[in-house]
Amino acid sequence: MIFRQLFEPLSSTYTYLLGDEDTGQAVLIDPVIATMDRDLAEVRRLGLTLAFTVDTHIHADHITAALEMKRAVGSKIAAPAHDRLACVDLGLEEGRPFKVGGIVLQPLHTPGHTDGHFAYVLAGRVFTGDALLIDGCGRTDFQNGDAEALYKSVREKLFALPGETLVYPAHDYQGRFVSSIAQEKMRNPRLGGETTVDEFKSIMASLNLPYPAFIDYAVPGNRLCGVCPPDLPDKLAGYCRQMTHSPQG
Ligand code: FE
């Protein structure tokens, strides 16, 4: 299998490219609209065809490239069935493996950051979305977030995976790329070690994070599988599609 970890710097998002050499099919997990031309070029450069985009959840900090990639190269859109988005071609559910050529992802419902959040397990790796970050986790104060649910998702589902499973998060803000289940179980300051659910709830309640700059545009846009709003203020223009070639030529 071909594997690439791609980075979108404005929202510090990781996009994961999985390629099946036998069928030439590729999957992108959490592609970002701002970097879609770069990511499609990478798929092409590797000699692959994009079969599916897959999102872990309805993002609040960037716009998914799912819909624009479908328009550009005919890829299908997979996303958690839980969110019931009309624009999705394939709704993913726990217990139903998602197969693209030789690539097999096991969807795991991991609510808490959002209620419809999913992680995806792939032999030896887990794409944890915003449920589990390196030494951290996604916030739980928007989008039906629920600290108790997140505690259970991480401790009962993600931490039940083999310790050597590599953890690939949806974001990192400090230049870290990968962790492991064993390392997060031991070291994660919010969710690791002996932390109790009440301790976790009080940590999450006292974070005092600012209101997300892009959420009011991102969530409605992502409920449509990735539509940039027409009324985007200039200071947020970087969140939308960056054309490699200008339409004027
Ligand atoms: Fe998120």
- Residue 230: its pLDDT value, please? 87
Cross-strand partners of 80: 92
**Model pTM?**
0.96
CA dist., res. 245 & res. 12, Å (int): 24
Ligand 1 centre from 138 Cα, in Å? Answer: 6
CA dist., res. 91 & res. 197, Å (int): 31
- Residue 245: its pLDDT value, please? 54
CA dist., res. 153 & res. 30, Å (int): 20
Ligand 1 centre from 13 Cα, in Å? Answer: 9
Q: Max CA-CA distance within the chain?
A: 59
> Is 180:166 a contact under the CB 8 Å cutoff?
yes
Per-residue burial over 196-222, b = 16 or more CB atoms within 10 Å of its CB, e = otherwise: eeeebbeebeeeeeeebebeebbbebb
- Residue 212: its pLDDT value, please? 92
CA 25, 29, 32, 33 dihedral sign is positive
Ligand 1 centre from 222 Cα, in Å? Answer: 11
Ligand 1 centre from 152 Cα, in Å? Answer: 18
pLDDT (tens, 9 = 90+) of the chain, 249 residues, equals 999 999 999 999 999 999 999 999 999 999 999 999 999 999 999 999 999 999 999 999 999 999 999 999 999 999 999 999 999 999 999 999 999 999 999 999 999 999 999 999 999 999 999 999 999 999 999 999 999 999 999 999 999 999 999 999 999 999 999 999 999 999 999 999 999 999 999 999 999 999 999 999 999 999 999 999 888 998 999 999 766 554 454
Ligand 1 centre from 221 Cα, in Å? Answer: 14
Shortest CA distance to 56 belongs to which of 104, 92, 20? 92
Ligand 1 centre from 187 Cα, in Å? Answer: 22
Ligand 1 centre from 21 Cα, in Å? Answer: 30
Ligand 1 centre from 56 Cα, in Å? Answer: 8
Ligand 1 centre from 199 Cα, in Å? Answer: 22
Ligand 1 centre from 33 Cα, in Å? Answer: 15
> Is 13:32 a contact under the CB 8 Å cutoff?
yes
Ligand 1 centre from 78 Cα, in Å? Answer: 17
Ligand 1 centre from 47 Cα, in Å? Answer: 31
- Residue 53: its pLDDT value, please? 98
Ligand 1 centre from 228 Cα, in Å? Answer: 17
